[in-house]
Chain A
Amino acid sequence: AQSVTQLDSHVSVSEGTPVLLRCNYSSSYSPSLFWYVQHPNKGLQLLLKYTSAATLVKGINGFEAEFKKSETSFHLTKPSAHMSDAAEYFCVVSDRAAGNKLTFGGGTRVLVKP
């Protein structure tokens, strides 16, 4: 069985400061991991994905994430937050044992203060 835990339900940062969103996963197989962002009343947009290539993954809008197998973590970071980064972020795992269906973390809501 696979599962995802996002350690913070809310994160508040000031514009221009770093953002860290924490994610731990559990998977019975070699997982694929994703981060999606959801703006209010919108669908989900893919930020980045890890698929067993480089452990440091660069995504869109300056986000990146590092896969650490020993820690079963896939934390998302951005060096400098922008007001437009205010949204909800989901860490997601998929593996073949689960037939490619996605398992979502509970989400982290990011607030960016001016």
Chain B
Amino acid sequence: NAGVMQNPRHLVRRRGQEARLRCSPMKGHSHVYWYRQLPEEGLKFMVYLQKENIIDESGMPKERFSAEFPKEGPSILRIQQVVRGDSAAYFCASSPDRQDNQPQHFGDGTRLSIL
């Protein structure tokens, strides 16, 4: 019974390149959340998606960041023209529905390093 799967585990990019982070939720989960963890900080909410819909993107930077969760396949967090400040750990979480007593299950994260 696989948990939340994120890949790659580590990603290195040069400034100006694009980064694509993938997340496959747990089986049966249709709600996906992305969080960012900067060094020595807690996690900060970025975006909440259901299949083919962005429900809440209030935590997403206004430029260069986008997310999708297509009908088929994993959720993708895309960062265009990366800068040094994008270096962080990005975590995906999933839950079976929107009830607030359902805990979110987290993947092991993608650690993004910008050279």
Residues on A facing B (Cβ under 8 Å): 32, 34, 36, 41-46, 49, 51-52, 90, 94-96, 99-107
Q: Which residues of chain A are near B6, meaning CB under 8 Å? A: 43
Q: Which residues of chain B are near A106, meaning CB under 8 Å? A: 41-42
Select B104's contact among A42, A90, A99, A102, beta carbons within 8 Å.
A102
* Interface residues of B, count at CB 8 A: 29
Select A43's contact among B42, B99, B109, beta carbons within 8 Å.
B109
User: 21 A–B contact pairs at CB < 8 A?
Assistant: A44-B91, A44-B93, A44-B106, A46-B105, A52-B101, A90-B42, A90-B43, A94-B100, A100-B99, A101-B45, A101-B56, A102-B33, A102-B43, A102-B45, A102-B93, A104-B35, A104-B42, A104-B43, A105-B42, A106-B41, A107-B41
The answer on a CB contact under 8 Å between A101 and B42 is no
Select A103's contact among B45, B104, B106, B111, beta carbons within 8 Å.
B45
Q: Taking A43-B91, A43-B109 as contacts, is the C-beta distance between A99 and B56 under 8 angstroms?
A: yes
Residues on B facing A (Cβ under 8 Å): 4, 6, 31, 33, 35, 41-45, 48, 55-56, 59, 91, 93, 95, 98-101, 103-109, 111
Cα–Cα, bound, A72→B104 (Å): 22
In whole Å, how far is B23's beta carbon from the nearest beta carbon of chain A? 11
The answer on a CB contact under 8 Å between B103 and A46 is yes
Q: Which residues of chain B are near A51, meaning CB under 8 Å? A: 100-101
The 7 A-B residue pairs with the shortest CB-CB distance, nearest first, are A51-B101, A104-B42, A43-B108, A44-B106, A43-B106, A101-B45, A104-B43
Q: What's the dominant secondary structure at chain B's contact region?
A: strand
| Among A43, A52, A94, A104: residue with most chain B CB under 10 A | A43
The answer on a CB contact under 8 Å between A102 and B35 is yes
Cα–Cα, bound, A55→B84 (Å): 44
Q: Which residues of chain B are near A105, meaning CB under 8 Å? A: 42
Q: Which residues of chain A are near B42, meaning CB under 8 Å? A: 90, 104-107
Cα–Cα, bound, A90→B37 (Å): 12
